[in-house]
Structure 1
Amino acid sequence: MSRLRDAAQSSKAWPFEEARKLVARYKGKVPEKGYVLFETGYGPSGLPHIGTFGEVARTTMIRRAFEELCDIPTRLICFSDDVDGMRKVPDNVPDPVALREHLQKPLTSVPDPFGKYESFGHHNNAMLRRFLDTFGFQYEFISATEFYKSGQFDEILLRAAERYDALMKVMLASLREERQQTYSIFLPIHPETGRVLYVPMKHVDGEKGEITFDDEDGREWTLPVTGGNVKLQWKPDFGARWAALDVDFEMYGKDHSTNTPIYDRICEILGGKKPEHFVYELFLDENGEKISKSKGNGLTIDEWLTYASTESLSYYMYLKPKTAKRLSWDVIPKAVDEYHQQLRAYPDQTPEQQAANPVWHIHGGDVPASGMVVSFSLLLNLVSVARADDKATLWGFIRAYAPEAAPETHPDLDQAAGFAVRYFKDFVAPNLSYRAPSEAERAALEDLAAKLRGIAADGQVPAEYAAEFSALSEEVFMSVVRDTGKAHGFSSLRDWFKVLYEVLLGAEQGPRWGSFIALYGVAETVALIEKGLAGELR
């Protein structure tokens, strides 16, 4: 057993904790079907959002942890419920009015408003697969339309007809009395209109596998439950899918948690074994509201990837999955920098620490080295003071700071430099607000400029720091900044740093000043202070 596998056996990292439950499910032996099956479900009623990605990313992390713990083969299925009727027209599609006549039709029978695919369902499925492929996930895609029509679901549908009363008993117990009067686990698809009908059953023939019902015009119909003529209501569909595929693991959001006993019981009535579950907290937009596919609020995959790497998003998904998370622009820089901090820490960690490090779970153990010799947050500050319009401008400063770095040898840094320029223009620049210093603050800033001007002139460590430092470094610059603040009566260095941020950067917070001066340059920092004192920063 490898040292990391040994460490994983007791690791408290949540993917390993969940994976150990799956190992115990089969006592470490290969199940009859020959593999352990992970599943994620997707409702393609709107464009995929980051919450959808999060399910696949986190499930993949548990799958990787399971594969580290044992040698049982695994599969991951991404299942799209594209037979679901379109209950409302999404807000974020072209010409939404044109879709109204297709309400209640299965999503794969609704025209694609983007005009690119066979249907709206096919379009959204393609978007799902595109972003899953972007992240390199290993998965198999199943469309509910094909699953229902091809016969793969027939055995379970026929069993559902046979055990209709038992299934209805479970469902009716969870419904209000008014809803009980019209509820059925089966939703017929009208042979003429193609709409998904929410109508009560007049009769369910378990022997023949047929249902009889009246449509909305009062006409009676009898249809087989097989061949794509019906779909299951979404709660029974959850459990029926588990039984049909013999699913071993599925995670879902907290909004599903109260339905877990229903899903499990449906699965068991249909002859399946309930899977292991993991319930995660919901994703919120910048206003604290739940993100929604139909509303299109919160960040999209493409929006995150416009400003940061795929790995930074995977890192954000790893963190505290049972805590509600905001998906807004301001979380991106922190996620990028923390991800690279973990990359730098990984090589020197013990196996136990590596097993708990998010980057192991993001990369499946094949952890790359970080080339970010400059943090993303510091790059944003550099864009601001250098007034950079492209990453080439930033590289002029980066090469002076780290001569060994180059776009060819540090591609992650090169990519981040481009992201920083975009992020600054779109989110930082519009909110910059410079202020003039008070008289006491002005005196402190003038003193700091004088000290840095002296360093720039002779390139030497100031005499008062020579005993501690043999060469100029970030620590020297930080000491100069810190001691200047103390000398001018700032009892809290936080207050002094805030003055520097607000006067020189137009923000309430910013970089570690020693690192900033080392990157931007001593003479350049002096010039920045002089502009701030002159009120020339805008």
Structure 2
Amino acid sequence: MSDNQNTPKLIHWADMTADRIIKQKGDKEGYVLASGITPSGVVHFGNFREVITVDLVARALRERGKKVRFIFSWDDYDTFRKVPLNLPKQEELKKYMYQPIVDTPDPFGEHESYAAHHEKAFEAQLAKMGIEVEPIYQAKKYRAGDYKEDIKLALNKRKEIRDILNQYRSEPYGDEYFPISVYCEEHKTDKTTVTGWDGESKITYKHNETGYEGVIDLNTTSLVKLPWRVDWPMRWAFEKVDFEPGGKDHSSQGGSYTTAKDIVKIFGWDTPVYLQYDFVSIKGLGGKMSSSKGNLVTVNDVLKVYEPEMIRWIFASYKSNVDFAVSFDLDVVKTYEDFDRQERLAYGVEAGAEKKVEMAKRVLELSQIGEMPKECPFQPSFRHLCNLLQINDGDIAKTRSEYANDIKNARDERRFVERSTCALYWLENHAPEEFKFKVNEQKPAQDLSAGATNFLSSLASYMESSAFDAITEDKELHEKIYELIHASEIEPAEAFKALYGALISKERGPKLAGFILTIGKERVLKLIK
């Protein structure tokens, strides 16, 4: 929707970051953008922020005619340090503690390893979100010997690396420091201490728990790994990375980004353009997401409540360094309403200030999975859709008949199916009790005053008349209900309580006029006559 696809307006942080990359790294044909994570457990929704941040910037670069290599590093050669509480075979997994994650078996028996189980799950979720990455499995890289020369360089420059790290350490490293960890060839774990390096290829080490002493040759072993603070800048240089964001924890003074900026020079590369992103929380479920604790929410979990374009839209709507919460509670309704409003602004269906319209357009462009529709897609109100689904006892096919004239193409159909499926799941799992209802099948017993009984009787008589059949708008019935309440000489609150009680056995519910018209004459009369 931009005037010139190769030069989008500089109104969104993704576009500004893309231009910053081109300016700082030179106007090249292509750029390398990076992201990654350790598959220590189920990859949760909070981790998704880093990936979507890179994807949004990648899109902005491609729109500028640039080629983008989006690499995603799986740090599966990291150590398995903690067994997440939500996984089966806890005792079996504990046997592999302090060994490489990639060598830990899949407790579900579905993949070749624990690491692969979590990697494949997250990659499938990224595909649902319209994100394509080039996965790099670090265990394969280390075991293929791809980093041997870099490890040798780090060992020969260990004092320089140590001095960089010591600037930010309360307890400085001494001469005993080596920028590597070793997996013991005898006991498989990394509970080892490096005791020597001959300057060429030989490393001596000691297993801390057993006292076993070993000598390994970097030219023939794959048991050596760089620690995170050295490994990260080494890979920047190895992959020629131009951009990689980092979380608030990495970005603080003295954090891994601070030291990586200096260490990367040892490997002959410049610091990639950097962007800090803040944390994402979940509202309405409670608890901070943690892979090791197992109390987490995944992209798949959020997709059960929100359409995929909406999830992209939520992230694209916030600056990367702003924290926010994704709601599972009643605010889900508001989120859908906000998205629909912004979509209408973007398509010109609703008027707005020029700057707001331009931003709505850009955010919506970045939110698309596939080609952007030329016209505003069908927008079934989430609140009304929830009501219709409950009136129709959760039957999506029946509910669709209410929208038959509004669904005009495949995109509209997808919108209806995704939104109604999300609404039904939300109603069944997360909606507050006051939002939920079930239309009664039989007239319930109620202890009503004479006035309330007279009101329901008058309403039933009216609904049996031709005047009711002629109603075309909610407003007409709304006014008639108040007329009947006044005639029955009772307070509106008493009348509403009696009517809601008859319809759904609750004291309140959806707006009555529209509710009655949607339920239908026959079902309502059966309950109030």
TM over 0.5: yes
Q: Which amino acid aligns with 2:62?
A: E
**Corresponding position: 1:360 with 2:365:** yes
Q: Is the CA contact 1:452–1:526 (under 8 Å) kept in the aligned structure 2?
A: no
Correspondence for 1:464: none
Q: Which amino acid aligns with 2:60?
A: A
**Corresponding position: 1:372 with 2:378:** yes
Which structure dedicates a bigger proportion of its chain to helix? 1
Q: Which amino acid aligns with 2:127?
A: D
How many residue pairs were aligned? 508
* Cα distance in structure 1, aligned partners of 2:232 and 2:458: 65
Q: Is the CA contact 1:390–1:421 (under 8 Å) kept in the aligned structure 2?
A: no
Q: Is the CA contact 2:17–2:57 (under 8 Å) kept in the aligned structure 1?
A: yes
**Corresponding position: 1:267 with 2:275:** no
Correspondence for 1:254: 248
Q: Is the CA contact 2:197–2:204 (under 8 Å) kept in the aligned structure 1?
A: yes
Shift of 1:431: 6.1
Shift of 1:506: 8.5
Q: Which amino acid aligns with 2:357?
A: Q
Q: TM-score, normalised by structure 1?
A: 0.79
Residue number among 422, 426, 447 corresponding to 2:425 in the alignment: 422
Q: Is the CA contact 1:211–1:222 (under 8 Å) kept in the aligned structure 2?
A: yes
Q: Which amino acid aligns with 1:457?
A: A
* Cα distance in structure 1, aligned partners of 2:251 and 2:500: 45
* Cα distance in structure 2, aligned partners of 1:263 and 1:210: 26
Q: Is the CA contact 2:264–2:271 (under 8 Å) kept in the aligned structure 1?
A: yes
Q: Is the CA contact 1:105–1:195 (under 8 Å) kept in the aligned structure 2?
A: yes
Shift of 1:327: 4.3
* Cα distance in structure 2, aligned partners of 1:35 and 1:66: 9
CA RMSD of aligned residues (A): 4.4
**Corresponding position: 1:93 with 2:87:** yes
Aligned-residue identity in percent: 23
Correspondence for 1:55: 50
Residue number among 287, 296, 310 corresponding to 1:312 in the alignment: 310
> Which secondary structure does the structure 2 equivalent of 1:250 belong to?
coil
Residue number among 289, 292, 300 corresponding to 2:290 in the alignment: 292
> Which secondary structure does the structure 2 equivalent of 1:249 belong to?
coil
Residue number among 200, 203, 216 corresponding to 1:208 in the alignment: 200
Shift of 1:161: 1.7
Correspondence for 2:103: 109
List gaps (5 residues or longer) in structure 1: 462-471
> Which secondary structure does the structure 2 equivalent of 1:344 belong to?
helix
In structure 2, the CA distance between the partners of 1:10 and 1:433, relative to structure 1 (3 Å rule), is closer
Correspondence for 2:441: none
Correspondence for 2:442: none
Residue number among 77, 80, 83 corresponding to 1:83 in the alignment: 77
Q: Which amino acid aligns with 2:308?
A: T
Q: Deviations over 1:374-414 (max 9, x none)?
A: 2222211222344x132122124334xx4666999623213
> Which secondary structure does the structure 2 equivalent of 1:277 belong to?
coil
In structure 2, the CA distance between the partners of 1:83 and 1:456, relative to structure 1 (3 Å rule), is farther
In structure 2, the CA distance between the partners of 1:479 and 1:355, relative to structure 1 (3 Å rule), is farther
Q: Which amino acid aligns with 2:70?
A: L
Correspondence for 2:31: 36
Q: TM-score, normalised by structure 2?
A: 0.80
* Cα distance in structure 2, aligned partners of 1:295 and 1:9: 43
Correspondence for 2:388: 382
Q: Is the CA contact 1:299–1:327 (under 8 Å) kept in the aligned structure 2?
A: no
In structure 2, the CA distance between the partners of 1:43 and 1:176, relative to structure 1 (3 Å rule), is same
Shift of 1:242: 1.2
Correspondence for 1:162: 156
Shift of 1:294: 1.8
In structure 2, the CA distance between the partners of 1:479 and 1:254, relative to structure 1 (3 Å rule), is farther
* Cα distance in structure 2, aligned partners of 1:513 and 1:405: 29
In structure 2, the CA distance between the partners of 1:167 and 1:374, relative to structure 1 (3 Å rule), is same
